[in-house]
Chains A and B, each alone.
Chain A
Amino acid sequence: MSSDLKIQFLVLVAIFAASVLLIRWSPFLSRKTVKPGSRYESVLPAAIMILLVLYSLEPTKWMVAPYGIPELACLAMTVSMHLWRRNFVLSVFASSLLYLLWLNREALI
């Protein structure tokens, strides 16, 4: 039984790896060159980033208390810190720390 699972798992890993590699390599297989400064370079990364923010917020329960307020408050803090100081580390750490403390407050007391 266990060796069945082992084989099944290794097959899964191999197929999974092939699929991930295919996905990650597919943009590089085309021979057509991308002009430097094209919209792929100027628009895509920014759009990806904002969509990753939204995507990562998907599990937030907006309809149940506390209605995503800690998340929004900490994100507002990140944005304002960053616009104020433009220091990556400060922007990321200050509000992350606050958020982690808030979320794990019961474990800390």
Chain B
Amino acid sequence: MSKDRRNRLASNPETLGLLLSVLAVYVLVGMAFGVFFVNTLNLPAYYSGIFGAVVLTGAGQFLSVQMLATGANIVEILVAVTFINFRHVFYGMSLRNDLKYIKWRAYVISFMTDEIFSLFKLTPNKAFWPQIAFCCHSAWVVGCLAGAYLSESFSMNIKGLGFIMINIFVVASLELGNRKNLNYIVSSTLVYIALFASGVQDAFLFTMVGLAVFLFAKENFGEARS
């Protein structure tokens, strides 16, 4: 196989398959958002596309539209979405070296979602990363617009699409987990379950912050590693 062909996304069936599944889900969930957007806010349909293009956060978009419709003020909405999106800090933290010399660096950093991050971690060839990010972003915007424009003639009845994303996270966990980080994975899981079971909201965020602080301490003040 020549070098050129190897460097094309289409010649990598595994990456392509995962990417296509994310794209399909982004279009469909984007459509659900578009329908929700025009039914909730009395705004032109293309505003839904603007929103998706500018922020690219699934849950945050649903929540902010909901809150705007029920008369919450901008500060309340901002606090809520910042809480939801804060986890993105950790994606950047773990990719600082990987994103040092990548093409379209600013774009990739600005629009990295949970799913895009997992696709990155499952795609060793970083040459594909900008394309992956751009495809996901476009799929989301297309979905948002399509749903908003077609909301009259279309109803979104497929349940459980998010499960495809959970499966991608599961596969990524299996790929990234190894003997060295196993104790961290197990303890994070236990902390999360303990927090969640005791009714703590944002268990994800607290676990991640705890882990990040712990790692920071280890890296900076821990004994020298062999």
Q: Residues of A at under 8 Å CB distance from B?
A: 2, 5-6, 8-9, 11-13, 15-17, 19-21, 23-28, 34, 36, 38-58, 71, 74-75, 78-79, 82-83, 87-89, 91-93, 95-96, 99-100, 103-104, 107
Contacts and interface: CB of A to CB of B under 8 A. Distances in A.
A67 B30 CA distance: 29
A100 B110 contact: no
Interface stretch (B49-57, B134-142, B145-153): B49-57
A98 B55 CA distance: 32
B14 A45 contact: no
B208 A51 contact: yes
Nearest to B215: A39
Contacts of A96: 21, 163-164, 167
A44 B88 contact: no
Q: Is the interface of B mostly helix, strand, loop or mixed?
A: helix
B193 interface: yes
B78 A9 contact: no
B127 interface: no
B57 A50 contact: no
B196 A92 contact: no
Given A45-B176, A91-B171, 10 more contacts: A24-B92, A28-B92, A40-B219, A41-B94, A45-B117, A47-B211, A50-B173, A51-B204, A52-B118, A75-B167
Is the contact region of chain A dominated by helix, strand, or loop, or is it mixed?
helix
Given A15-B74, A48-B117, A41 B171 contact: no
A58 B196 contact: yes
A41 B120 CA distance: 13
Contact of B163 (A40, A58, A71, A89): A71
Interface string B56-93: 11001000100010000010011001100111111111
B42 A51 contact: no
Interface in B102-151: 109-112, 114, 117-118, 121-122
Contacts of A20: 55-57, 60, 81, 85, 88
A13 B50 contact: yes
Contact of A56 (B90, B162, B211): B162
Contacts of A27: 89-90, 92-93, 96
Nearest to B50: A13
Contact of B159 (A5, A43, A91, A104): A104
B93 A44 contact: yes
B211 A89 contact: no
B92 A92 contact: no
B27 to A, nearest CB: 15
A94 to B, nearest CB: 9
